[in-house]
Amino acid sequence: MRQNAHARLIKQVNSGTLLKHIRDQGPISRAELVKTTKLSPTTVSVIVEELLQEGLVTEVGMGESSGGRRPILLEFQPKARLAVGVDIGVRKSTVAILDLLGNTLLSQSYIPNLQNKQLFVQDIIHHISEILQARKSLEQDILGIGVATPGLLDREKKNIVYSSSLGFTDVPLYEALEQHFSLPIRIDNDMNAAALGEKVMGAGRNISHLIYVSVETGIGAGIVIDDRIYDGATGGAGEFGHTTVEPAGAPCKCGNRGCLGVMAAEPAMISRAIQMLTIGAQTKIRDYHQGAPAEISLESLVLAARDHDPVALSIMNDCLDYLAIGIANLINLFSPAAIILGGSTMEALHPMGIERVRHTVSQRVIHGAQRSYTIVPSQLKDRVKIVGASTLVFSEFLDYVNFLAPEKVRI
């Protein structure tokens, strides 16, 4: 019997719902699935049979009986489908094969060639080819290639229009990858990918509205609204680090002044510490950093702050308050259920950093918004971009489980 498109879509959505329930709550019986998903016993039975045939779930034994026969339990099989994830960084890029739970099966990192964009793209192709070659036996299970890159992408997510950190404009990445690989390709900005990664596999599971905020050498954000990445009209939404928090603040690479990234990211903390050491301030930072002021690391500053040094604490808190003001603005604007705070700087400052941000945000958000959001640390931590890259491919598969052979899948 031919199914019409509408019925097929409903079935795919139901398949996605069931698969995610088995993933999150398994081992689980068919009867429990009927109860928790409110789908009919027939629908559950038919779809579970297909999920079993596709190897996406397996039967793992018997559960407790509630009177009658003991039910057979179903368990999710994360390795049934895989994705190639590419995390493009300035100092290090990583190419990996990941499973449906974000576990890395194989990974290789390299220093990207930023001399010219042809070599930069060739390197990416070379490393994807290598990793596919190394796992040739898995090739039929690979759903696609997901790439997380810094910079601004065009609306179709095919070209890197501009990236100040890579130093390139107009990199036709999609076209280059499409010429070399027959797999579906998904490219997105790294902050968008990170936000989706946390949503699908990290701290944001089952949260439809969230914003991921990263603090490292700069500040970035990825916005998820209604379970989808929010791009804005031109694909450039989420440039959180370039929102102004201090009209007369220090100049930013973007040409503006007092951008959040300039005022609150790690270099701002370091340069304030250098300043305090240079003017001879009384501070325990010196106990943790014996070298020249210009060589101070974030670690010395954090150690002094943990030691209750007022100078170190005031440097950190000033920067974190700028960040919190920005986050309060995000909450007032978007009303997300969760703000997920990540990046190496937040990691180094944990838990002081997130506590300060929570405190300041609670004073800044409008009354009434206070009970409806939560600010949590990143769960994926330093894997957020590579896992995020894979979820560019996986998220659509998990939402609408598609049983077509992987090479024909158009996700």
As a whole number of angstroms, the distance between CA 85 and CA 162 comes to: 21
Should residue 254 be labelled a site residue for Zn ion when binding is judged by CB under 5 A? yes
The answer to whether 218 touches 261, Cβ cutoff 8 Å, is yes
- Nearest CB to Zn ion, comparing residues 28 and 259: 259
Candidates 20-28, 203-211, 230-238, 259-267: pick the segment binding Zn ion (CB under 5 A). 259-267
Burial of 104 (0-12, 13-18, 19+ CB in 10 A): middle
CB of 265 to Zn ion, least distance (A): 11
As a whole number of angstroms, the distance between CA 125 and CA 90 comes to: 17
209: nearest Cα among 190, 228, 232, 192: 228
Should residue 165 be labelled a site residue for Zn ion when binding is judged by CB under 5 A? no
Kindly state the DSSP code that residue 167 receives in the 8-state scheme: T
Should residue 260 be labelled a site residue for Zn ion when binding is judged by CB under 5 A? no
Using CB under 5 A, which residues numbered 117 to 146 contact Zn ion? none
Chosen residue from 84, 145, 191, 259 binding Zn ion by CB under 5 A: 259
Beginning with the edge strand found earlier in the chain, give each strand of the sheet holding 142-149 in spatial order. Answer: 104-110, 93-99, 82-87, 142-149, 185-189
With residue 220 as reference, give the H or E element that holds it.
Answer: strand 219-225
Question: Angle of helix 5-25 relative to helix 41-53, nearest 10 degrees?
Answer: 80
CB of 167 to Zn ion, least distance (A): 16
Question: How many residues of this chain interact with Zn ion, rule: CB under 5 A?
Answer: 5
CB of 215 to Zn ion, least distance (A): 15
Should residue 257 be labelled a site residue for Zn ion when binding is judged by CB under 5 A? no
Residues near 1 by Cβ (< 8 Å), separated by ≥ 6?
Answer: none
Using CB under 5 A, which residues numbered 193 to 252 contact Zn ion? 242, 252
CB of 241 to Zn ion, least distance (A): 7
CB of 250 to Zn ion, least distance (A): 10
**Beta pairing partners, 193:** none
- Nearest CB to Zn ion, comparing residues 34 and 161: 161
- Nearest CB to Zn ion, comparing residues 79 and 257: 257
205-223: burial string, b at 16+ Cβ within 10 Å, e else: eebebbbbbbbbebbbbbb
- Nearest CB to Zn ion, comparing residues 256 and 314: 256
- Nearest CB to Zn ion, comparing residues 252 and 325: 252
Residues near 340 by Cβ (< 8 Å), separated by ≥ 6?
Answer: 195, 198, 202, 203, 204, 210, 211, 212, 213, 376, 377, 378, 379
Amino acid at site 326: G
Should residue 256 be labelled a site residue for Zn ion when binding is judged by CB under 5 A? yes
CB of 164 to Zn ion, least distance (A): 9
- Nearest CB to Zn ion, comparing residues 147 and 259: 259
- Nearest CB to Zn ion, comparing residues 171 and 264: 264
- Nearest CB to Zn ion, comparing residues 255 and 368: 255
CB of 243 to Zn ion, least distance (A): 8
Integer angstrom CA distances of residue 363 from 256, 333, 336, 346, 369: 27, 16, 17, 20, 11
Candidates 20-28, 41-49, 253-261, 303-311: pick the segment binding Zn ion (CB under 5 A). 253-261
CB of 263 to Zn ion, least distance (A): 10
> Contact residues for Zn ion (CB under 5 A)?
242, 252, 254, 256, 259
